[in-house]
Amino acid sequence: MKRLSAVFLIAVCVLLAAIAPAHSQRPRDVEQQINALLAKMTLAEKLGQLQQLDGEAGGNYRPEHVDLARKGLLGSTLNVRGAAKTNELQRIAVTESRLKIPLIFGFDVIHGYRTIFPIPLAEAASWDPSMAERTAAVAAQEANNAGLHWTFAPMLDIARDPRWGRITEGAGEDPFLGAAFAAARVRGFQGSDYSAPDKLVACAKHWVAYGDAEGGRDYNTTDLSENVLRQIYFPPFKAAVDAGVGTFMSSFNSINGVPASANRFTLTKVLREEWKFDGFVVSDYTSVKELINHGIAANEAEAAAKALNAGVDMEMVSRSYNQYGPRLVEQRQLSLATIDEAVRRILRIKYRLGLFEKPYADETREPGSLLRPESLRLAREAAAHSMVLLKNERNVLPLDKSVKSIAVIGPLADDRRSVLGPWAGDGRDENTVTILAGIKAAAPAQTKVSYAKGCDIKGDSDAGFGEAVALAKESDVALVFVGESDDMGGEAASRSSLDLPGRQMDLAKAIQATGKPTVVVLINSRPLTFGWIADNVPAILVAWMGGSQAGNAIADVLFGDVNPSGKLPVTFPRTVGQVPIYYNHLNTGRPPEAQNKYSSKYIDVPWTPQFPFGYGLSYTTFKVSNLQLSVPRIRVGDKLTVTVEVENTGKRAGDEVVQLYVRDPVASMSRPVKELKGFQRVALQPGEKKRVEFTLTRDALAFWNREMRFVVEPGEFDVMVGSNSQDVLEAKFAVVER
Ligand code: GLC
């Protein structure tokens, strides 16, 4: 018997060793190994670890990478992908170089690798961080099996200006919602141990305030107070650090005159000294060398010194560190200690990734890991749950399944690429379910589905209007798909207008003029302005750029198989002239009043948005009532419980996203008219009522004051709860000194 138990014990140990994450070393051991390795490294090898170089667009490495890897003078690549390719380059680094330090392979896995999920702004519209965690986990699983270790995501930039094309990559205008999605995405990409199979180390980007670019013009100047930095732009990044994010990326923009890639306040004082972040910071693409353009470095040597001394550990693509590092050390403009600390941080992440123990991808896993049925189902579910129903008069939607003929109109309805959105990873057009295909697949057998393009996305021709109008006239319902192409959003895609490009608005007007029931569906990467449609078309659905399964998801919502439950994560303005426009604004000394000429408003448009933050309808109706507070007053630091009742007063099951806002009406600084401090998605059957409870903690009431302390000031507070940021129930409570 004893022999049997011994054999059993050994078997269990072997099994545990096999399934244990590759990186099962204790932190102290890792630090000892790092220091031992550092002690062996030459200056050239240390500087090599600080260098990331770009692969070829198709995913191959470049010939010079082989030479550098062999000499131990390369730390990382971006865009090199595919298990066979990464293994080839990795094998050279870990078998032929002197110290055999593995490479870390990075790629922009922003909203999917081969299975493409909705753009992040769309996922934010689901107000379901758990969904984003699930999609990030699938993205990591596919990318890891394609030989990648590191994603340059999540993008955490708060954006209040939809002219900025990169608003598409984040979670919108609100710090609280942005922080929730930041943590969820980091958890999804990294899991609890990113050395485990199917995981990636994540990258909080772009640090920081990149979305505050003046004029919404990408890469432009940002100039904002430390209070606004801390109150609005930092929270998603702090949430990422609290969730254990392994890397950061410094941004292109200058912050109050000091470029983010040379900003010691953000890179060292906040990130290292206050937040104790111990991963590494990679620059953005050539943002180190661009310090010369910013005018704070006369040459690349100065740029290298400024960036490294400020806290940028790895240089993406430009080579200032490697080219000028030795001279800077000789001239004492750069210390070996600074270089060692940067190398230490990079090696720490490589150890935590388990790359020293398991440097290679298992090439047999890649084919079976892509586009799995369960991944596609998740993509379809995520896209459907991101859609926002803005209008539905006379219940035009959902489409009646007895409908005999449907006209599908618009250039985006048969476009395989645009619905994937910007930053579509390694997504392939051939894997996209187009909108037309999705509707044809979902429509009842006896329903005739016809298509007319009507016009191009851009361009002035209306030559196709006649065909589209004729088709609408002979159909029971007209579905008009308008919006942007994927290359009109994302990086270097700022727009001076938010109107529908080309002749799409005229196309929508021509179809509406037929008198047929008309539905407009937006395929967009940002808020757009479409006032005439908002005023005249009975049904409007924001479908965003929904990814590989966009067509099926849109059909699921249009036919009512999914009841839309999305809420806007960003304000939709009436006109670009209102921008920046956001819900958590200050009251001003003359808050807008229609009757009072001398108040803060425009003379040519209403001051209110077209659709407010947090807004979204459903195929059913909900009623929020009976707002109650646990107590009328609390002491500073105590918690307060807030409850409401939510009832489904309609005939269909549906989800409502109940939102809680707080206001501090009198404080030592002007405070926003409201700030999101809680939200809950509630599923309700027809007639069902549930009680929803929120707990307001100290952090929900605190703010960064003039002394730069995060404090709760005693006084009266307003609490507001509702189904969007405007339609709310209100109550008051007091905070008193302890
Ligand atoms: C780009 C982007 C950044 C991206 C990086 C690598 O310029 O600013 O978001 O991760 O370069 O592609």
Q: What is the pLDDT at residue 3?
A: 56
Q: Measuring from atom 6 of ligand 1, which residue has the nearest CA?
A: 285
pLDDT tens digits, one per residue of 608-645: 999 999 999 999 999 999 999 999 999 999 999 999 99
Q: What is the pLDDT at residue 415?
A: 97
- In the structure, what pLDDT confidence band is assigned to residue 10 with cuts at 50, 70 and 90? low
The amino acid occupying position 281 is V
Cα 494 to Cα 42, 401, 486, 586: the distances in Å are 44, 40, 13, 26
- In the structure, what pLDDT confidence band is assigned to residue 15 with cuts at 50, 70 and 90? low
Expressed in angstroms and rounded, the spacing between residue 285 Cα and the centre of ligand 1 is 6
Residue 503 has pLDDT above 80, yes or no: yes
Strands, DSSP E only, in 448-496?
A: 448-452, 477-483
Q: What is the pLDDT at residue 22?
A: 40
Whether the predicted model's global pTM rises above the 0.75 cut: yes
Q: What is the pLDDT at residue 102?
A: 98
Expressed in angstroms and rounded, the spacing between residue 521 Cα and the centre of ligand 1 is 30
Which among 673, 662, 660, 700 has a CA at the least distance from the CA of 584? 673
Expressed in angstroms and rounded, the spacing between residue 123 Cα and the centre of ligand 1 is 20
457: helix, strand or coil: coil
Expressed in angstroms and rounded, the spacing between residue 252 Cα and the centre of ligand 1 is 10
Q: What's the rounded Cα separation, in Å, for the pair 426 and 79?
A: 10
Q: Measuring from atom 8 of ligand 1, which residue has the nearest CA?
A: 284
pLDDT tens digits, one per residue of 528-564: 999 999 999 999 999 999 999 999 999 999 999 999 9
Q: Measuring from atom 12 of ligand 1, which residue has the nearest CA?
A: 108
Beta bridge partners of 436: none
290 Cβ closer than 6 Å to some ligand 1 atom:
no
Q: What's the rounded Cα separation, in Å, for the pair 230 and 210?
A: 14
State the catalytic residue, choosing from 157, 284, 415, 655.
Answer: 284
Q: What is the pLDDT at residue 26?
A: 77
284 Cβ closer than 6 Å to some ligand 1 atom:
yes
Mean pLDDT, residues 400-420: 97
Mean pLDDT, residues 334-340: 98
pLDDT tens digits, one per residue of 42-96: 999 999 999 999 999 899 999 999 999 999 999 999 999 999 999 999 999 999 9
Q: What is the pLDDT at residue 11?
A: 56
Q: What's the rounded Cα separation, in Å, for the pair 586 and 578?
A: 15
Q: What is the pLDDT at residue 7?
A: 58
Expressed in angstroms and rounded, the spacing between residue 249 Cα and the centre of ligand 1 is 9
> What is the distance between the terminal CA atoms of the chain, rounded to a whole angstrom?
66
Question: Which numbered atom of ligand 1 lies nearest the CA of 205?
Answer: 9
Cα 91 to Cα 44, 61, 72, 149: the distances in Å are 20, 13, 12, 15
176 Cβ closer than 6 Å to some ligand 1 atom:
no
78 Cβ closer than 6 Å to some ligand 1 atom:
yes
108 Cβ closer than 6 Å to some ligand 1 atom:
yes
Which of 79, 218, 285 should be mutated for ligand 1, with most atoms under 8 A from CB? 285
Q: What is the pLDDT at residue 28?
A: 81
Q: What's the rounded Cα separation, in Å, for the pair 503 and 663?
A: 43
- In the structure, what pLDDT confidence band is assigned to residue 27 with cuts at 50, 70 and 90? confident
381 Cβ closer than 6 Å to some ligand 1 atom:
no
65 Cβ closer than 6 Å to some ligand 1 atom:
no
Q: What is the pLDDT at residue 574?
A: 98
Percent of the chain with pLDDT over 70: 97
Question: Which numbered atom of ligand 1 lies nearest the CA of 152?
Answer: 10
Using the Cα atoms of residue 215, residue 217, residue 221 and residue 227 in order, give the sign of their dihedral: positive
Domains of the chain with CATH codes: 46-334 (3.20.20.300), 366-578 (3.40.50.1700), 622-736 (2.60.40.10)
174 Cβ closer than 6 Å to some ligand 1 atom:
no
Q: Measuring from atom 3 of ligand 1, which residue has the nearest CA?
A: 284
For residue 231, the 8-state DSSP code is I
Q: Is 172 exposed, middle or buried (0-12, 13-18, 19+ CB in 10 A)?
A: buried
414 Cβ closer than 6 Å to some ligand 1 atom:
no
pLDDT tens digits, one per residue of 579-593: 999 999 999 999 999
Expressed in angstroms and rounded, the spacing between residue 164 Cα and the centre of ligand 1 is 15
For residue 575, the 8-state DSSP code is S
462 Cβ closer than 6 Å to some ligand 1 atom:
no
**Active-site annotation holds for 284:** yes
Tokens encoding 564: 């839309």
